Structure 1
Amino acid sequence: MLKPIFRKLLFLLLPVLSSFSPPAKKVKNTKPNIIFILSDDHTNKAIGIYGNKLAKTPHIDRIAKEGALFNNFFVTNSICGPSRAALLTGKYSHVNGFISNDKKFNIDQFIFSRSLEDSGYQTAWIGKWHLETLPQDAFNYWTILPNQGHYFNPNFITQSNDTVTYKGYVTDIITDLSKDWIRNRDQDKPFLLMIGEKATHREWLRAVEDLGSYDDIDFPIPPSFYDNYHNRIAAAHQDMSISETMQLGFDLKVNVDYDSDWIYSRLDKEQRAAYRTYYGDYLSKEFNEKNLKGKALTEWKFQRYMRDYFATANALDRNIGKILDFLDENGLAENTIVIYGSDQGFYLGEHGWFDKRFIYEESLRTPFMIRYPGLIKPGTVIEQSLLNIDWAPTLLEMAGVSVPQEIQGKSFSGLLQNKMINWRDHVYYHYYEYPQPHRVMPHFGIRTSKYKLVRFYGDQNFWELYNLEQDPQELNNIYKQFENSKLVKKLKEDLKVSVLEYKDDLATQIIQK
């Protein structure tokens, strides 16, 4: 036992002795990094892993093969900005306030990236943002395309509110900026990187190296291409048809002036020359010689639309491959969650359309896949019905961060581990933007595994009902046949439950009328 004098001496020496002690051992970060690649208007029907044998998407397919593929992932409002707002907040459009692209997103509300930052994550958003505001303090770092952005030599807005112009193709530039941020981040922190892609948004400007790709392919015309919209008022009312709405010049690059047209104002001399040679000397000449009319013209437009759309997706897939390779080369793959998804689905000629918006399957359904080695078994397939409001709570839970009660989505992290979870048996949807730009009537409704019940409202008020098993193309509105049936009564009860659960006051008022 130490005598008092020695205890006193030891007490006095402790501060000095501690300064010579070995440094604390650095604790390795165990939280997963997260990379979320969000494309624009890229439908699952244009992805190989979902069954399209013409699509050249080996790198997107790789994410699903090495992780989980979701067959029934849906959006809550099929339009660009509102879908991003749902991702950021985990809430429906009527709750987060961003119901249509002409609104301004409230950046001061709950955003899941702030919760990750509070728990030690470094966060970034790079690329397309499209929310009519700036990310401000929602991310540690951001550099975004203004509005829709440009495909060639685009401007980016930086955190200092400077506008910087980068030379090159937008998909390549977004990848380079993303890799640079990963290299230069705080290496001691886990990170969240949101990569907002512009592709495959209209006007489908291909990278120069993809000019001519798919020209040797004749795309099959969808069975519903010549839909007559019988007994479907809203479908007949829209303005998004390939035959009438799609423009030869604006969309298909036929007989345009590459020196004066604003679409091509960003192209440099070499890029413009390549476009003029391909679309002017070759494509426009071919079109003028054919002198097409009627169905022949419509089907020619469809083929050109498909070739531009799929070729624009080539660069998207190619750059996803670059990101995956970068993770492998830098030892980051094992502890990084990699996600690929789109902001909604898109029409590739189904019902004769392009664009999105409707609750119908092609625009309601969005591609989604996630890879996380060690947690997700390669080749996992998820069949449950999920929503884009589920993204935020899932990422929070996978990062070990508590999910706020205000979030309306539901974490599906347990499904990734094949756990038995009580899951929703239907999904709720609400679309608002009318009449511009595509004259799609506002509507809300629910989708179950077998049925879809929809209420259109506004200028006209009516119901639609579809049996998805018997009528997967949704050509036959059977509401009047079953209006007074137990089936419709049950579906309306389920719809009312969803409307109340998600606090959709506008839908509540309409249902009660």
Structure 2
Amino acid sequence: WNVLPGQGLYHDPEMIEMGERSTRRGYTTDLITDYGLEWLRGRDRERPFCLMVHHKAPHRPWEPDDKHAEMYKDVDIPQPETFDDDYSNRAQAAAAARMRVERDLNAEDLKVPVPEGLSPAEEKSWKYQRYIKDYLRCVASIDDNVGRLLDYIEKEDIGEETIVIYTSDQGFFLGDHGWYDKRFMYEESLRMPFLIRYPREVAPGSVNSDMILNVDFPATFLDCAGVDIPSSFQGRSFRPLLSGETPADWQTSMYYRYWMHGAHHNVCAHYGVRTLRYKLIYYYGDPLGQEGAIGPKTQPEWELFDLEKDPCEMNSVYADPAYAEVVVELKAELARLQEKVGDEPYGALHH
């Protein structure tokens, strides 16, 4: 194994290889891929293998390499539909968060001073272009390096029997709701990319919209490798979904919890349930004495979104009488999921 300490650096990083620290010269995305390829070349070709290549990019601060530094220079990246969100018609938690493009990006993020003479709207747009272009430049380096790995697999003629997965640990706000960062249970943060290539079982270009969770990954990996799945695993193998054979009892709801109250970007602690159509969020707003969460407490609040009618999650319908029955059903499902994973509801769950 060969990892970065903490988040590490983008350029000339210190790395820890099998317990030994040393500084490496180069761009971290390239270096991580180099080590992955080196391991592949030295592997025992008579045995199956599992290699995980985990990149730092595109984590903040967004520092592209020289090769991509001018990418998108003369391109104006479109702003998301919700870029000018005013955070009305929802819980106060959204307005209280401190991760707005217009006011919370710092000098390290922007890298150059804000030009003088801009109106507030122009300054917000300028900051967005600075942010999103560097973010996409970092992603472009990942794309290049994923290509290097795929090229090696093809060169070795092992593409037919090799499962390749591209995913992330969460989504990210790319100007959506006027934000950067993550943490909230809103779609842009909650959902994550998941691409898989396995010619033996996955039809090229096929798309599956069933609900899978990151806790399902381990069981799926073991299933594909022909290894027994421990009963202690929370997740379930979604291997049947890869060939379009969704089990009749496949999950249609999921549980989410963010507990680090106030610690990052002033995001309130919250949990919730998402079904295929609805999302119920409870901002319980209490650090609960946990290390990594800080005060003060905030007023508990609920949000309910009808994702069919409001996919951008701009208007909470929690207080709408037309959704009263939906609220009751979702609170019951929330309680069921919490019990299933061994979590405890905050005191006001049913109030």
TM-score by length of 1: 0.64
- TM-fit CA distance, 1:510: 5.0
Matches within 5 A, 1:463-474: 463-474=302-313
Change (3 A) 1:192 1:479: same
Task: State whether residues 387 and 409 of structure 1, in contact with CA within 8 Å, keep that contact through their aligned partners in structure 2.
Answer: yes
User: Which residue identity is paired with 2:194?
Assistant: F
1:483 Cα deviation after fit = 8.6
The answer for the alignment partner of 1:361 in structure 2 is: 187
Question: In structure 2, what residue type is equivalent to 1:435?
Answer: G
**Partner of 2:103: helix, strand, or coil?**
coil
Describe the superposition over 1:199-251 as per-residue Cα deviations: whole angstroms up to 9, x where unpaired: 1111110110111111121111222111111132110110100111111x210
Q: Partner of 1:244: helix, strand, or coil?
A: helix
Name the structure 2 match of 1:443. 270
| 1:76-115 alignment, distance < 5 Å | none
> Which whole-Å CA distance do the structure 2 matches of 1:461 and 1:497 have between them?
21
Of 500, 505, 508, which residue of structure 1 is paired with 2:339? 500
Following superposition of structure 1 onto structure 2, how do residues 308-347 of structure 1 map, counting pairs within 5 Å?
Answer: 308-347=134-173
Residues 1:150 and 2:12 aligned together:
no
Match of 1:401 in 2: 227
Alignment of 1:158-307 (within 5 A): 158-159=17-18, 161-230=19-88, 231-247=90-106, 249-255=107-113, 287-288=114-115, 290-307=116-133
Q: Is the 8 A contact 2:91 2:301 kept in 1?
A: no
Alignment partner of 1:370 is 2:196: yes
For the structure 1 residues 156 and 326, does the alpha-carbon distance in structure 2 shift closer, same or farther, using more than 3 Å as the test? same
Provide the secondary structure at the position in 2 that maps to 1:178. Answer: helix
Check whether the contact 2:273–2:281 (CA below 8 A) recurs between aligned residues.
yes
For 1:169 and 1:420, locate their aligned partners in 2 and report how far apart those are by CA, in whole Å: 41
Cα gap change, 1:437/1:485 in structure 2, threshold over 3 Å: closer, same or farther?
Answer: closer
**d(CA) in 1 for partners of 2:14, 2:4:** 6
SS at match of 1:147: coil
C-alpha distance in structure 1 between counterparts of 2:25 and 2:91, whole Å? 47
1:3 corresponds in structure 2 to none
Q: Pick the aligned partner of 2:253 from 419, 426, 429.
A: 426
- Runs of 4+ off more than 3 Å: none
Aligned to 2:294: none
Instruction: Say whether 1:391 aligns with 2:217.
Output: yes
Distance 1:495 1:323 in 2: 41
Matched to 1:195, the amino acid is V
User: CA 1:484/1:398 → structure 2, altered by over 3 Å: closer, same or farther?
Assistant: closer
Query: More relative contact order in 1 or in 2 (CA 8 Å, sep 6+)?
Result: 1
Residues 452/391 of structure 1: CA separation in 2 closer, same or farther (3 Å cut) = same
Distance 1:467 1:418 in 2: 27
Alpha-carbon separation, structure 2, partners of 1:366 and 1:499: 22
State how far apart, in whole Å, the 2-side matches of 1:492 and 1:202 are: 35
1:370 match: secondary structure = strand
Write the distance in 2 (CA, Å) between the matches of 1:240 and 1:349.
10
Tell me if structure 2 keeps the 8 A contact 1:397–1:411: yes
Distance in 2 (alpha carbons) for counterparts of 1:229 and 1:186: 55
Deviation at 1:481, TM superposition (A): 1.4
Residue identity in the other structure for 2:65: A
Describe the shift of the 1:210–1:234 C-alpha distance in structure 2 as closer, same or farther (beyond 3 A). Answer: same
TM-score, normalising length: structure 2: 0.93
Is structure 2 residue 346 aligned with structure 1 residue 511? no
- Aligned partners of 1:496 and 1:508 also within 8 Å: no
Question: What SS does the corresponding residue of 1:222 show, helix, strand or coil?
Answer: coil
Q: Is the 8 A contact 1:464 1:479 kept in 2?
A: yes
Distance 2:40 2:139 in 1: 24
CA contact 2:331–2:350 (8 Å) conserved in 1: no
| Structure 1 Cα separation of the partners of residues 195 and 303 of structure 2 | 31
Q: What amino acid maps onto 1:315 in structure 2?
A: S
Q: Which runs of 5+ in 2 are unaligned?
A: 287-296
Task: Report if aligned partners of 2:101, 2:179 keep a CA contact under 8 Å in 1.
Answer: yes
Match of 1:81 in 2: none
Amino acid at match of 2:333: D
Structure 1, unaligned runs of 5 or more: 1-141, 256-286
Q: Match of 1:379?
A: 205
Task: Tell me which amino acid in the other structure corresponds to 1:511.
Answer: L
Given the alignment of the two structures, is residue 489 of structure 1 paired with residue 328 of structure 2, yes or no? yes
Q: Per residue, is there more helix in 1 or in 2?
A: 1
After superposition, the CA RMSD in angstroms is: 1.5
Q: 1:312: Cα distance to partner?
A: 1.1
Offset, 1:155: 1.1
1:484 shift after superposition: 7.6
Equivalent pair of 1:500/1:508 in contact (CA under 8 Å): no
Distance 1:334 1:455 in 2: 45
- What is aligned with 1:56? none
What is the one-letter code of the residue matched to 2:83? F
